[in-house]
A = this chain, B = another copy of it.
Amino acid sequence: MIVHTGDGKGKTTAALGILLRAWGRGMKVVMLQFLKHRNARFGELRAAERMGVEVIPLGDGFTWTSRDPGKNQALARAGWERCRDRILAPEGAHDVIILDELTYPLIYGWLELDEVLETLRRRPPMRHVIITGRQAPQPLLDFADLVTEMRLVKHPYSEQGIRAQPGIEF
């Protein structure tokens, strides 16, 4: 159980690196993505398609901008149900499950952390789960086996006005 958190680049990217390694070994990988804009996952969606790996969008930034908190909560729940199905799927169904940007619905209070932890606890043995996103809550870090914080040291957007580069950041 791995968490990639922090304000730097590389949280989703390192999860994609795990996806690549696991796929290289013939393991069964699935990635479920909360919140990410369609453009912001173009490279990985295309790669996954070429590799025959499932990458499942659970709604992009636009989906989640509703001013109706009930609607966001309902969407987050629906997304989470799909994650839970995979997390609890019978042994052998998945070796690696990536829950990309899962911290956001947790931070916004659209999902209950306790329910997420309880579900993770019940997963079959040797099912690796990788969770990415800023501000991972402390109980999630406590629960994780491996936590890396991606810390922003230098960023070209803010410092040089360089825009996000296709193939590199999305």
Q: Which residues of A contact B (CB under 8 A)?
A: 2, 4-6, 8-10, 12-25, 27, 42-51, 95-96, 128, 141, 144-156, 160, 162, 165-170
Q: List 20 A-B contacts (CB under 8 A).
A: A6-B151, A10-B10, A10-B150, A13-B17, A14-B17, A20-B43, A24-B46, A24-B48, A24-B49, A24-B50, A50-B51, A96-B168, A128-B165, A145-B156, A147-B155, A148-B151, A148-B152, A149-B151, A149-B153, A150-B150
A80 to chain B, nearest CB (A): 23
Known: A17-B13, A21-B16, A44-B20. A2 touches B168 (CB 8 A): yes
Residues of B within 8 A of A162 (CB): 145
Known: A25-B43, A128-B168. A146 touches B17 (CB 8 A): no
A95 to chain B, nearest CB (A): 7
Residues of B within 8 A of A146 (CB): 9, 154-156
Residues of B within 8 A of A2 (CB): 168
Q: CA–CA, A160 to B144, complex, Å?
A: 11
A23 to chain B, nearest CB (A): 6
Q: CA–CA, A109 to B47, complex, Å?
A: 38
Residues of B within 8 A of A24 (CB): 42-50, 167
- The chain B residue sitting closest to A47, CB to CB, is B24
Q: CA–CA, A51 to B148, complex, Å?
A: 27
- The answer to whether B21 touches A10, judged by C-beta atoms less than 8 angstroms apart, is no
Residues of B within 8 A of A160 (CB): 145
- The answer to whether B154 touches A151, judged by C-beta atoms less than 8 angstroms apart, is no
Residues of B within 8 A of A170 (CB): 21
Q: CA–CA, A4 to B13, complex, Å?
A: 12
